Amino acid sequence: MPTAPRLDLTASSLEITRQLCDIPSVSGDEAGLADAIEAALTGARHLEIIRDGDAIVARTNLGRAKRVVIAGHIDTVPINENVPSRDETIDGVDYLWGRGTVDMKAGVAVQVKLALELTAPAVDVTWIWYDHEEVSAALNGLGRLASNRPVLLAGDFAILGEPSNSIIEGGCNGNLRVEVRTFGTRAHSARAWVGHNAIHDLAPVLDTLASYVPREVEVDGLVYREGLNAVGISGGVAGNVIPDEAMVHVNYRFAPSRSGDEAIAHLREVFAGFDLTVVDLAEGARPGLDAALARQFVEAVGGEPKPKYGWTDVARFSALGVPAVNYGPGDPVKAHADDERVAVDQIAACERGLRSWLSGADA
């Protein structure tokens, strides 16, 4: 048996990020990293450790009046010659370069370091590091915990360490995908008048998409920008056949003030008269920045909170009634990029923000 990789959590959060990145953990292959995290925390008297598959839950039970959940996923998208990590300086800014540096091992590094060091936080903390975030929602480790052991996700507030440039990003837009279909009559294209062209019938669908003006909606003080877009289009049988079916794949990103059902109703209205099939729906999440704990967190961290546009697992907390925000080092634009890299300063900033809040947060 090979020696299991070891983590040294007494190192700086930058060095811990480096250690985490150099243990490959592409979705489905997180066991080694989960083992290392579990081993590094086992024995810490202030933590109860629970393992569920390749998810690790570590929580304090100090009898505080409030409990916060702080979570991050430990898997990455596939490696593309960007492991091991390395230092890089661009325009005078120091970075750690490599797969996972942004999405989201820097965030996890800060979390595991604070989990071990903060033996007496001002609130009880449930730390969760989970598997399978970068693949099908059905495999998501946080989703598995939410459905099998929802009590582990219970809390008054939640923070997801997704990259947000170490600025608080509240909630997230909902995400709906539908297929809009037209139907015609197949015929040889030399005698087109015998048939009916389903692709031509898509013209008003594209007109609607091209002229649609997306809303900007204020929710709990943050302005969410919506979007309605074709993300795919298909149709056609052969070069000499009038097609009898065509389809536009439409993606609607909707503000968290709208429910999934309301989003579907909106698209049925926008595409009235067309065949519409819902293929994917994820509810949005309100930012929840009006909660007392959230306000303290915003104060401790500083900076102006922003809305999160992309869907993240904060919506899973939101669905359980737990207000949740995104807060982690790294620019989301670099997530999944081959030149993924996190600014070293952001790792330190994230650590400072979380440490300050958890040390002083008022129960």
Q: How many residues does the chain have?
A: 363
DSSP string, 42-103: TT-TT-EEEEETTEEEEE--S--S-EEEEEEE--BSPPSS--S-EEEEETTEEEEESTTIII
Q: Which of 133, 220, 340, 351 is catalytic?
A: 133
Give CA–CA dist 152/134, Å, rounded: 21
**Residue placing its CB nearer to its own copies in the complex, 86 or 200:** 200
Catalytic residue among 35, 54, 75, 134: 75
> Does residue 267 bind its own copies (CB under 8 A)?
no
User: Between residues 251 and 259, which has the closer beta carbon with respect to its own copies?
Assistant: 251
Catalytic annotation on 75? yes
- Nearest-approach distance from CB 230 to its own copies, in angstroms: 4
Sign of CA dihedral 337, 338, 339, 345: positive
Q: Which is nearer to its own copies, 249 or 266 (CB)?
A: 249
Q: Distance between CA atoms of 338 and 359, rounded to whole angstroms? A: 37
- Burial-class residue 79 by CB neighbours within 10 Å (0-12, 13-18, 19+): middle
Residue selected from 35, 38, 156, 201 as contacting its own copies according to rule CB under 8 A: 201
* Least distance CB 181 / its own copies (angstroms): 13
Number of residues counted as binding its own copies (CB under 8 A): 46
What CA–CA distance (Å, rounded) separates 273 from 250?
Answer: 16
User: Rounded to 5 degrees, what angle do the CA atoms 50, 51, 56 make?
Assistant: 85
**Residues in region 204-263 near its own copies by CB under 8 A:** 206-207, 209-210, 214, 225, 227, 229-243, 246, 248-249, 251, 253
Dist CA 229 CA 253 (whole Å): 9
Separation of alpha carbons 164 and 185, rounded Å: 50
Binding mask 282-321 for its own copies (x = CB under 8 A): ---------------------------xxx----------
Between 233 and 363, whose beta carbon lies closer to its own copies? Answer: 233
Window 160 to 199, contacts with its own copies (CB under 8 A): 173, 175, 177, 188-193, 197, 199
Nearest in space to 74 (alpha carbons), one of 125, 16, 120, 133: 133
Question: What minimum distance in Å lies between the beta carbon of 281 and its own copies?
Answer: 12
Known catalytic membership, residue 133: yes
CB of 234 to its own copies, least distance (A): 6
Catalytic residue positions, numbered: 75, 133
Return residues touching its own copies (CB under 8 A). 173, 175, 177, 188-193, 197, 199-203, 206-207, 209-210, 214, 225, 227, 229-243, 246, 248-249, 251, 253, 280, 309-311
